[in-house]
Amino acid sequence: MLLSLVIPTRNRHYYCRYAVATALASPAENFEVVVLDNSDAPQRIYAALNEFQEDRRLKIIPAESQVLSMSENWERILAHTTGKWITVIGDDDAVFPELIDVINIIDAAKNLDTNVIGWDRVSYLWPNNRGEAYTPIAISLNFDIKKKKTIDHLTDLFSWSGSNRNPGGGVGLYHSAIRRISLVRMANDRGGKLFRYATPDFDNGYTNMLYNETFLWIRRPLSILGACAESNSAMVNSYKNTQEVIERWMKEGAHFDAVENTDFPPQLGLVPWVYNFQIKFLQDTKAPYEINLKNFVGKLQAECEFEKNKELFELKVKAIKSILLGERYQQVCHHFQPTYGKQFKSSFRGACNGYLFLQPTVFNTKDIFTFMNLINQLLAPAMFVGTNVNVNVA
């Protein structure tokens, strides 16, 4: 078996059906789709995926007698997969069917020896999570392969120097493919466990960078990052939820007990959440990297400026300013000067530097499978990935 595509799911059977459908749209036979169910009603996953029951490439791993944490559910990956390569997507995500073709090409190439394959992704907002969507989706029109050093990538992650508001989760199992032998070695070094943190995607993405010197990056989208109303990102953007958590935190003092040894409550947004994770990761691993606080504060400002709800913008700014008064941030706190509405009013649309930027609702698709098929019409075929082919159109 060449590839195991793993889909952990919990009580989101409707979305999971589409994630499975996008994978099984591939005609290839040398891969498996492994659904790790962690739902409250174990039988519902079989009903949701009933139309695929005759497809021998699908494997459903039932929920256990007790609900598992996210990391505990992901911990079942090695035991229930057989692929030479393993990748994980969320249950509201999707893959392009060409993924298996590209893995085939790279696995067979003698000059592309690697344990880690990453690729560009496209973002998708499910209809129940669109609201007044304003951040454009970026679609890569490229199809080249680059070999990168993990030490450079980790340096970029901790320096917060990239163009995105947050540096991301590294290159690991989540929306990337890792060679099984590399994961087994990692688990053996950790007493049989692949994960030590509550968020296994970031956990593996950063840890994997410490275990491998290089990785391949494909600038052709091969998967889709979905976000439904029940997703963590949507919950963070809920004004009521965020207001309650931040106000309680400010009332209780400077320490937020849900995140040990960190300064920021995670409900302030993804940027402070990633920062919290980085601090904990560096403390535990003693990795020789340092967070660039000036750049981090700049990303905090950008995240606030992307907030469309003015009340939530003011609430976040107030909370962040109170934190930046602490001793750790004295040298950089003056860089935090957010202006309401500055970022979302200037969002770019159009083609630039090999990417196409579109309004998220431009296609108004009802599901991620339909969206995948539309976007795929814009992308280079898998056979062109890693080539400098010239296509002549008659």
| pLDDT score for 17 | 97
In this predicted model, what pLDDT tens digit does every residue of 259-268 receive, in sequence order? 345 678 777 7
Examine the domain organization and report whether 100 and 218 are in the same domain: yes
Spans in the chain with pLDDT lower than 70: 131-134, 232-262, 343-347, 388-394
Within a domain: 356: no
How would you label 127-150 residue by residue, b for 16+ Cβ within 10 Å and e otherwise? Answer: eebeeeeeebbbbbbbbbbeeeeb
One domain for residues 49 and 175: yes
Give the residue among 286, 281, 293 at the shortest CA–CA distance from 335: 293
Give the pLDDT of residue 232.
64
Please check whether residue 354 lies inside any domain of the structure.
no
Examine the domain organization and report whether 93 and 192 are in the same domain: yes
Q: Are residues 18 and 144 in the same domain?
A: yes
Q: Tell whether 355 is covered by a domain.
A: no
Does residue 288 sit in the same domain as residue 219? no
Q: Which amino acid is at 6?
A: V
| pTM for the predicted model, two decimal places | 0.90
147 and 94 part of one domain? yes
319 and 368 in a common domain? no
Residues 386, 389, 393, 394: is their CA dihedral positive or negative?
negative
> Are residues 288 and 177 located together in one domain of the fold?
no
Range of the domain at 246: 235-344
pLDDT at 383: 83
**Tally of domains within the chain:** 2
Q: Are residues 52 and 181 in the same domain?
A: yes
Q: Are 164 and 385 in contact (CB under 8 A)?
A: no
**CATH number where 172 lies:** 3.90.550.10
pLDDT at site 257: 36
Domain assignment of residue 353, yes or no:
no
61 and 130 co-located in one domain? yes
Identify whether residues 209 and 103 lie together within a single domain: yes
**Rounded Cα gap, residues 394 and 391, in angstroms:** 10
Alpha-carbon span 317 to 302, nearest angstrom: 11
How far is 4 from 81, CA to CA, in rounded Å? 6
Could you tell me if 320 and 292 lie in one domain? yes
Bridge partners (DSSP) of residue 176 are: 118
Residue at 308 is within a domain = yes
